[in-house]
């Protein structure tokens, strides 16, 4: 059985064999793509001659099928099918390289995404962002959104320099655009479950009976956006939280279930410490590394209209990071001290 590196090389060497004749002259290459939280995914890119746009087809999922017993050439055929479905960029992408240099083209497409600040230190060093507690808001240009997913480009410092704009301008545009392009959604968990089961064919009356409404301060509320992608940033829109806190009648605890959504509950529904334990357990067992947002819980103060960490403080987190760094440096020093020295 091939290991993952050998599998990637096999795909690169043999992909042309499963492509239609019209695609025989494409350029096939392997590519590593840095994702959220320092995760690196491995892709094969299939670029038509004369084009500067190529889809990334991530290979981890295909390799898993192969590991689980699927025939290697059948898996290769699936990669080829996906490649042919996406090889021709949409017409609106034909001039994207040139258009992207024009700030007038991108300014109404800039959106914000919430990520974990500590786990994305390398990214934040080269990208405009705004720190919010242990999170950071980064900015992306949204180039497309359809059934196949959302096409975005993360804004880096060099993009700002090219456009001649400041991080403050980018943030202001993102705050305005995100709300319009990806409207905020706030739904009770019962509403979400009713929708889910109705889509699966359950009659509405049965879904209504199974997930009847409860008192507002005893429910969980899912905060996201209409696309259900990168919706956790919606927690930073004060009006959404303010309206929910008024409905519930208390301050809110906000649980970061993933980069795509948060869950809000009344502060009557537990302690921040117990809720943080729940978040950490879910992150460790059910949420993919690249989709995790934080292990901590936030409190929305309805009177002050502010969000802050509830189970810890940013100072405590920074001190912990500093301690870990010092421990690492001490270990290195011990290794240096133990290294044999040669004297003349």
- For 192-211, the pLDDT digits (tens) are 766 677 677 777 666 666 66
> Does 274 lie in the same domain as 189?
yes
Query: What pLDDT was estimated at residue 329?
Result: 43
Query: What pLDDT was estimated at residue 343?
Result: 35
> Does 237 lie in the same domain as 151?
no
Mean pLDDT of 32-47: 91
* Residue with more model confidence, 36 or 54: 36
Mark which of 26, 56, 89 sits at the end of a domain.
89
Nearest to 44 by CA among 66, 17, 13, 70: 13
* Residue with more model confidence, 214 or 105: 105
Mark which of 150, 181, 212 sits at the end of a domain.
181
pTM: 0.80
Query: What pLDDT was estimated at residue 322?
Result: 67
Mark which of 162, 181, 200 sits at the end of a domain.
181
> Does 289 lie in the same domain as 228?
yes
> Does 68 lie in the same domain as 42?
yes
Query: What pLDDT was estimated at residue 328?
Result: 46
Please say if the pLDDT value at position 241 is more than 50.
Answer: yes
**Backbone phi, then psi, for 225, in 5-degree steps?**
-135, 175
* Residue with more model confidence, 325 or 104: 104
Buried b (16+ CB within 10 A) or exposed e, 165-196: beeebbbebbbebbbebbebbbbbebbbebee
Mean pLDDT computed over every residue of the chain: 86
Nearest to 107 by CA among 181, 184, 53: 181
Please say if the pLDDT value at position 256 is more than 60.
Answer: yes
The token pair at 161 is 């320099």
Query: What pLDDT was estimated at residue 93?
Result: 65
Residue 23: band (very low, low, confident or very high) from pLDDT cuts 50, 70, 90: confident
> Does 257 lie in the same domain as 278?
yes
Please say if the pLDDT value at position 336 is more than 50.
Answer: no
> Does 84 lie in the same domain as 122?
no
Mean pLDDT of 314-342: 54
* Residue with more model confidence, 307 or 337: 307
Per-residue pLDDT tens over the stretch 158-197:
999 999 999 999 999 999 999 999 999 998 877 776 667 7
Residue 331: band (very low, low, confident or very high) from pLDDT cuts 50, 70, 90: very low
Residue 315: band (very low, low, confident or very high) from pLDDT cuts 50, 70, 90: confident
Nearest to 238 by CA among 324, 295, 141, 305: 305
CB 181 within 8 A of CB 234: no
Summary count for the chain: helices (H), strands (E): 13, 13
Boundaries of domain holding 61: 4-89
Side by side, the strands of the sheet bearing 261-266 are 184-188, 221-225, 261-266, 252-258, 298-301, 306-309
User: What is the distance between the alpha carbons of residues 14 and 80, in angstroms, rounded to a whole number?
Assistant: 10
Please say if the pLDDT value at position 5 is more than 90.
Answer: yes
> Does 147 lie in the same domain as 188?
no
CB 175 within 8 A of CB 112: yes
Residue 133 C-beta-side C-alpha neighbours within 13 Å: 23
Mean pLDDT of 6-35: 91
Mean pLDDT of 319-337: 51
Mean pLDDT of 78-94: 80
> Does 23 lie in the same domain as 137?
no
The total number of structural domains in the chain stands at: 3
Mean pLDDT of 131-160: 86
The percent of residues above 70 in pLDDT, for the chain, comes to 85
């Amino acid at each position: 059985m091939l290991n993952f590196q050998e599998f990637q090389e096999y795909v690169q060497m043999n992909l042309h064999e499963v492509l239609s004749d019209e695609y025989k002259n494409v350029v096939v290459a392997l590519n590593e793509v840095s994702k959220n939280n320092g995760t690196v995914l491995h892709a094969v890119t299939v670029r038509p001659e004369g084009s500067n746009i190529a889809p990334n087809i991530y290979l981890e999922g295909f390799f898993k099928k192969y590991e689980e017993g699927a025939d290697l050439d059948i898996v290769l055929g699936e990669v080829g099918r996906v490649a042919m479905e996406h090889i021709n960029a949409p017409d609106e992408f034909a001039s994207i390289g040139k258009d992207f240099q024009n700030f007038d083209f991108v300014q109404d497409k800039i959106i914000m995404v919430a990520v974990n600040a500590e786990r994305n230190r390398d990214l934040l060093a080269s990208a405009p962002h705004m720190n919010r507690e242990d999170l950071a808001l980064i900015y992306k240009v949204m180039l497309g959104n359809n059934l196949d997913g959302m096409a975005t480009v993360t804004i880096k410092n060099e993009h700002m320099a090219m456009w001649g704009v400041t991080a403050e301008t980018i943030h202001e545009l993102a705050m305005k655009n995100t709300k319009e392009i990806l409207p905020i959604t706030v739904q009770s968990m019962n509403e979400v479950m009713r929708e889910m089961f109705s889509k699966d064919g359950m009659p509405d009356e049965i879904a209504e009976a199974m997930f009847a409404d409860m008192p507002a301060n005893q429910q969980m509320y899912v905060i996201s956006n209409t696309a259900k992608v990168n919706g956790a940033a919606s927690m930073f829109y004060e009006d959404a939280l303010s309206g929910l806190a008024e409905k519930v009648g208390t301050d809110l605890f906000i649980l970061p279930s993933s980069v795509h959504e948060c869950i809000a509950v009344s502060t009557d529904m537990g302690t921040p410490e117990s809720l943080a334990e729940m978040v950490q357990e879910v992150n460790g067992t059910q949420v993919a590394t690249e989709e995790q947002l934080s292990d901590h819980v936030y409190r929305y103060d309805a009177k002050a209209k502010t969000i802050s960490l509830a189970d810890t403080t940013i100072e405590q987190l920074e001190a912990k990071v500093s301690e870990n760094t010092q421990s690492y440096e001490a270990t290195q020093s011990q290794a240096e001290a133990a290294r044999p020295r040669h004297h003349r």
